[in-house]
A and B are shown apart, each in its own frame.
Chain A
Amino acid sequence: MRKLLIISLFTLAACPLESEDRAPAWDRQRAVIGPIELKDRVAYVDTARDRAVIVDASAPRPAVRTARVGRNAVFAAPTPDRGMLAVLTRGEEAVLDGQIDQEPRLYLVDPTSTAAPLEYEIGSPFDRLAIAEDGSVAVAYFSSGGFDADTGVFRNPNELAIVDLRAPPGDDNPTLRTVRSFGAAPDGVVLSPPMAVMGAPDETAGPRVFAYVLAPNTLTVLDTANPGSREVSVRLDTAGALVRPREIAFAPATGTAYVRSDNARDVLALLMTWEEPTSDTDNDFQLAAAELGAGAGPADVAVYDDLSGRRFVLAAMPGTRQVAVIDGDTAAFVTVPTPDAVDRVLLFPSGPNAVPRVAVLAALGQRVPRVHMLSLEGIHDELVPVDLRTIALEEPVLDIVAVPGAESAMIVHDDARTVLGLLDVRIGSVAPLLGVGRLDTYDFDDQGRFLVGATRDAARVGFLELGNLHPSDLPLDGPPARVFALTGGAVYVDHGDPYGRATIVPEPGARRDESTVVSGFLLAGYLDEDF
C-alpha cells in the first residue's frame, strides 16, 4: 500500500512536467531588412518576427512602434515621398505544426498610424517592387536571383503583379500579368510619373502611370490604369548587338520617355500618342519610337525643360568625347566636344520646378583631376557661343553627388573617400575637405544646409555646415553603420546592431547629453511574442 502511494506520487509529479514543444516559428532564421529612411522616422523589418519596426525620431523622446506583416518578408522600400513603407512577403505553407497557410502579400505600412497595414495578396512570391512617383501604383516582380526553391516548383520570371495602391484589395486588385518575352527575363521595372497621352480627346484618357519593363533587347510598356490591356514590346536589338536598357528619363507633359541603353548608339525616345481602342484589351495609345541622334553610346542622360517649357535631353557620350543636347520635340541636337570622356551629367539648380542653368560634367571612368561646367542658357541658339568651363582640381574625380536643395555638389577624390571637395556651382569654386577616415555613410538634409557623415571605424558622426563649410562632430558610444539626416532636422545614426541600436541627435551641433541612444528596439515585445 505504501509502495503504491509512493509510485503514485512519483507519477503525479512527472505528469505535469512533460515539456510542450514551442512553435517552430521560434527557430526560424532571422534577418533584418533596413534601416529604411522615412520622413522623420526610420523603419526596419524583422523577418523572423514578421513585423515592421518604426523608430520615431520626431518626438523629444524617441518612440518605437511595430506593425504586423506576413511571413517571410523579402523586400521593403519606402514610397517615393518616404511617407509609407512597402513590404513584400512570400508567405508560408503549413507543413509543420505551428506554420500557417499564407499567400504572398504586399503590405503598406503607415508609420504615423497605429492602424493595421493595408495588405494585398499578390499571387506569386515576388521579391522586388517598383512604386510610382505619386504613390498610386506599385508593380511587384522577380529579380534575376529571386527564385527560392522553397516557394514552388516553377517560376515565371516574366510575371508581374500590378497593384493599385489607391484602391482597396480585391479580386481585380492586384492584377497578375505575364509580359511578352523574347527569351529573356526582366532586369527591372521602372514606373513613370503620371504621363499624358498626346492627342487624348478627354479626361478618360488622361495622365496615368505606365510600367516600363527592362529586359535584354526588349522594352515592354504596360498601361497600369488598364492592366488588362495588351502590353507593347519594343525590340532594341535590330542591329544585332545585345542592347540592355539601363535608364529612363521621363517628360510626362509630352508623354515621352527617353531610354538610355548599353550598346545603343542613340537615346531612344518613346512618344505616346492617342488612338481609338478597337477592343477591350486594346490600348488607347500607340508608341512612336525615335532615335535621338546622340551618335555614340550614351553613358548618362539628363532631361530638363527650359524657361519656355521646351524639353531637352543631355546625353554624355564618352566614346566620342561629346555631350549632345537634344531638343526633345524636334530631335534637333547640338554636340559639344569635351576634353574628357564624360560619363556623368548633373544639372543645377535641380528640383521639381527648377530650370537648370548649368550642367556639371565629370569623367569618372577616366579619373581625371577636373570637372566641366556647361552653361545651358541659349545652348541651342547658334548666335550664343558654347560656354564650357573646366575646373582644375588637385585630385582625380571618382564620384560626384548633387547636394539636394543647393547649387553645389560633393566630389569624391579617392577610393577610400577620405579626400572630398565641395563644388559651388554658382561660382565654380571647389573647397577641399579632408576626412579622418573613409566616408562610409553620408546624407544631406532636405534643405542642403548640412552634410552628415561617418566612418565605420570611428565612433563619431561628423557634420559639415554647407553654408560656411564649418565642420563639427559628435562622439558616439559605438561605431556607426548608417547615418540619415531626417526631415525635421534630427540625425539618425544606426549602429548596425541586429537587436536594434541607434543614436538620435536632435539636430547637428547638439551635445551628447541632448542625444539619445535607443537600445534593443528590434526586440521590443520579444518576450510577449505569441506565434
Chain B
Amino acid sequence: MRALVTALGVIAAAGGVASANEYELGMGMGVRRMGSASVDALSADDRHLSTAVGGAIALPGFELWGLGLEIDAGYEHAGVTGTTFQTIESDLSVHVIRVGARLRYAVSPRVSVYGRAGLDFHRARLELTDVSGSAVSLADDAHGGASSLGVGVDLGGRHRPGKRVTLGVRLSLDYTVGTGMTFDAQPAGGPGGANTIPVDAAQLGSVDISGWRAHIGAFARF
C-alpha cells in the first residue's frame, strides 16, 4: 500500500510541472517469468501473474528524429506460490516500484511503439509453511534492485484536439536483470518479545527475480 501511495505521489508530482493533455494513468496485468533456478525452490511454474498501476508524463519539449520522450513510474505486485518436496508451501510476494523513460514513435495516428529503460526497486516477503503443520513457519523480508529494458505497442490513446481524455490499450515486453534478494530462516511469528532466547537464523539463500515480463493493460491520457 505504501508503495502504491508512493507511486501515485510520483505521478502527481510529475503532473504538477507538465502541460495539459500529456498525462497518462494506466493499469493492467501481466505475466512474469522468473527464469532463475532460485524460483524452482518455491514453485513448479516459473510464470507468475502480476498486477500493476502507474502513470507517465510526456515531455513535450523533447523531440528527436520523430521520437517523443516520456517519464513513467508505477507500482507492481507479483506473487509466487507453490509446494516443494510435497511438504513445503511457499508464498513469495514481491512489491515493485518502477521508474523509467520511454522513447515513443508514432507508427500511425492510432498505433505507436516505444522502447523503455527503467529501474525497479523490489521489496519481497517470503513465507515457508509446512503442510503437516509440524514446523514453525518461516518468514522474512528482503529488498533488491533491478534494471529493465523493454518494448511496447500502444493501440489508441493518441491525444486528439477537443477530446479531454483518450483511452488506449498497451502491450509490452521487457527483460529485468535484478540483484538477488537474500532471505533468512526467521520464525514467522517474529522475535516474540524482548525476553525470547536470541535467534540465529540460517540463511535460506537468495531469490533472483530476473526474467521476462509481458504486460497488457489499459491507459488513459488527458
Surface stretch bound by B, among A12-20, A210-218, A308-316, A430-438 = A12-20
| Residues of A in contact, count (CB < 8 Å) | 54
Contacts of B134 in A (CB 8 A): 496-498
Chain A interface: which of B55-63, B68-76, B98-106, B198-206? B198-206
CB distance from B80 to the nearest CB of A (A): 12
A17 and B199 in contact (CB under 8 A), knowing A26-B84, A27-B86? no
| A22 B85 Cβ-Cβ under 8 A | no
Which residues of A lie under 8 Å from residue B37 when comparing CB positions? Answer: 529-530
Q: Residues of A contacting B136 with CB < 8 Å?
A: 478, 495, 497, 499, 501, 519
Convert A6-30 into 0s and 1s, putting 1 for each residue whose CB lies closer than 8 angstroms to a CB of B.
1001101110111111110011111
Number of interface residues of B (CB under 8 A): 55
Closest to A505 in B: B197
The docked-state distance in angstroms from the alpha carbon of A160 to that of B185 is: 42
A175 touches B (CB below 8 Å): no
Q: Which of A42-64 contact B (CB under 8 A)?
A: 48, 61-62, 64
Contact partner of B135 among A497, A521, A531, CB < 8 A?
A: A497
CB distance from A454 to the nearest CB of B (A): 15
The verdict on B187 contacting chain A, using a C-beta distance below 8 Å, is yes
* Chain A residues, CB < 8 A from B183: 527
Establish whether residues B41 and A529, one from each chain, have CB atoms under 8 Å apart when the complex forms: yes
Docked complex: B186-216 residues within 8 A CB-CB of A = 186-187, 192, 195-207, 212, 214
Q: Digitize B17-31: 1 where CB-to-A-CB distance is under 8 Å, 0 elsewhere.
A: 000000000000001
Which residues of A469-498 are within 8 A (CB) of B? 476-478, 495-498
Binary contact track B137-156/A, C-beta < 8 Å → 1, others 0: 01000000000000101010
Which B residues touch A501, using CB under 8 A? Answer: 135-136, 187
A523 to B136, CA, bound (A): 12
Q: Kindly identify, within residues 493 to 526 of chain A, every residue whose CB is under 8 Å from any CB belonging to chain B.
A: 495-501, 503, 512-513, 515-521, 523-526
Interface membership of A166, Cβ < 8 A:
no
* List of A residues within 8 angstroms of B205 by Cβ: 525-529
> Is B38 located at the chain interface by the 8 A CB criterion?
yes
The reply to whether A525 and B203 contact each other, CB–CB distance below 8 Å, is: yes
Residues on A lying within 8 angstroms of B by beta carbon are 2, 5-6, 9-10, 12-14, 16-23, 26-30, 48, 61-62, 64, 476-478, 495-501, 503, 512-513, 515-521, 523-531
7 contacts between A and B (CB under 8 A): A16-B173, A26-B40, A499-B136, A501-B187, A512-B196, A519-B199, A527-B207
18 more contacts with CB within 8 A, not counting A30-B85, A516-B198, A520-B202, are A5-B111, A6-B153, A9-B171, A27-B44, A27-B85, A61-B200, A62-B200, A498-B135, A499-B128, A500-B202, A501-B136, A515-B197, A517-B197, A517-B199, A519-B186, A523-B202, A523-B204, A526-B41
